[in-house]
Structure 1
């Protein structure tokens, strides 16, 4: 693989780092090609990868879709390429964590919204600027953002193109947690380590259950949970026996 998206693995956490710091990690087609290759490998690595962290190198998470590429015309490997890669990332069996520091604008926000959980630094800057550039979203903003923050707050973000801080993102539910800048990546690592102390089987099963029941009414969702969930994991007996010995 190339050097536009770097992967590092540690204690079951696969970290994917967008690596165009000289361009504020602006998202172009080669970035998405490398991201897709990593996602494909992680899909087949459920025994060794318990969760995935997506972050940016250098000064920010990402300034968004590379406007230079838009202006000159992108050559896509196949139609609707970027949203399909984002969807593939979102649908990984493992939990996906978006770790956002500083800029996270428009296309970058659409990428971050693929995360099951968004962790923000205090200096994070979230914005949807489609309206500023006379664009409409095609990477998922109109669907994922309202599901994250509610329809009225999503409308505010999309129609005003305002920027929101990490603390504001935490308050509105866009970010699950906002951490101090100086300890941000240590806090992200600690969050992942606590999560991975739980059964990896359950982490995958719970993510699938949430995804499969999204949009169902209560009765249909309850029926799905009862009859179609993943059930008991292979490590259940060992975990219960270990608890009994404490």
Structure 2
């Protein structure tokens, strides 16, 4: 494994850090290759990995798709490589949290949107700048952004290429929470710690339920929940017994 995406495992949390701080963590093909390799390792390790945090090294989350790579002509290991990696990240069995500080533009926002939860610092800067560069999205922006913030707000973001702060992102529902810049990652750690106190079985089952029923009408979704959910976890009896002893 190289050093463009760093992996840290601690207390059930696997942190993947995009590590091109000299390039503002711009996303190139080698970054996606390393990210893909990490995801392949994580997706089968549900006993050791309770959740995944994606973040950026240095000054920002990521300035987005490396425009230099686009201009030079990217050499992909297979067609549609980057969106497939983002989809694989989004479909991990474990919950995925995108921890965004400072720049999170365009391709980086598409990567962040793969997270089940987005946590932002106050200095976060979210934008979709496809229109500024005469580009159209192919990494999921037109589908994931409207599902996150609603069609009209997504249209505003995509058509104006405006930048939105962490607080604005929280208000519009793009970010689940916004924290002060000082202590941002302490807040992220506290969030993951609280979440992982719950049943890891349930975290995975709930995520799968949300993914499997996305886009279904109410009747179909309810039927899926009743007949196709994951049921009871192996830790249910111990958890209920422990509650009874309190």
Q: Shorter-normalised TM-score: what interval?
A: over 0.9
Q: How far did residue 230 of structure 1 move?
A: 0.2
Give 1:159 deviation, angstroms: 0.1
Counterpart of 1:231 in structure 2 is 231
CA distance in 1, matches of 2:43, 2:222: 28
Q: Quote the Cα distance in structure 2 between the aligned partners of 1:172 and 1:45.
A: 34
The residue aligned with 2:66 is 66
What whole-Å deviation, never above 9, does each CA across 1:88-108 have from its counterpart, x for those lacking one?
000000000000000000000
Q: Which residue of 1 aligns with 2:101?
A: 101
Matched, 1:241 2:241: yes
User: After superposition, where does 1:1-246 map in structure 2 within 5 Å?
Assistant: 1-246=1-246
Aligned length: 246
Determine helix, strand or coil for the equivalent of 1:222: helix
Cα distance in 1 for residues equivalent to 2:180 and 2:4 = 27
Shift of 1:44: 1.3
1:150, 1:201 → 2: CA distance?
30
Q: Secondary structure at the match of 2:26?
A: coil
Q: Take 2:33 and 2:189, find their aligned partners in 1: how far apart are those partners?
A: 26
The runs of at least 4 consecutive aligned structure 1 residues that moved more than 3 Å come to none
CA distance in 1, matches of 2:186, 2:7: 17
TM-superposed CA distance for 1:212, in Å, is 0.3
Alpha-carbon RMSD: 0.2
Structure 2 residues not aligned, in runs of 5+ = none
Report the Cα distance in structure 1 between the residues aligned to 2:114 and 2:204, rounded to whole angstroms: 16
- Cα deviation code 1:172-231 (max 9, x no counterpart): 000000000001000000000000000000000000000000000101000000000000
Q: Secondary structure at the match of 2:17?
A: strand
Instruction: Return the TM-score normalized by structure 2.
Output: 1.00
Q: Output one character per residue of 1:140-159: Cα deviation in whole Å (capped at 9) or x when no partner.
A: 00000000000000000000
Please give the per-residue CA displacement for 1:4-48, whole angstroms capped at 9, x wherever unaligned: 000001100000000000000000000000000000000111000
Q: Distance in 2 between matches of 1:184 and 1:27?
A: 23
* Alignment gaps of 5+ in structure 1: none
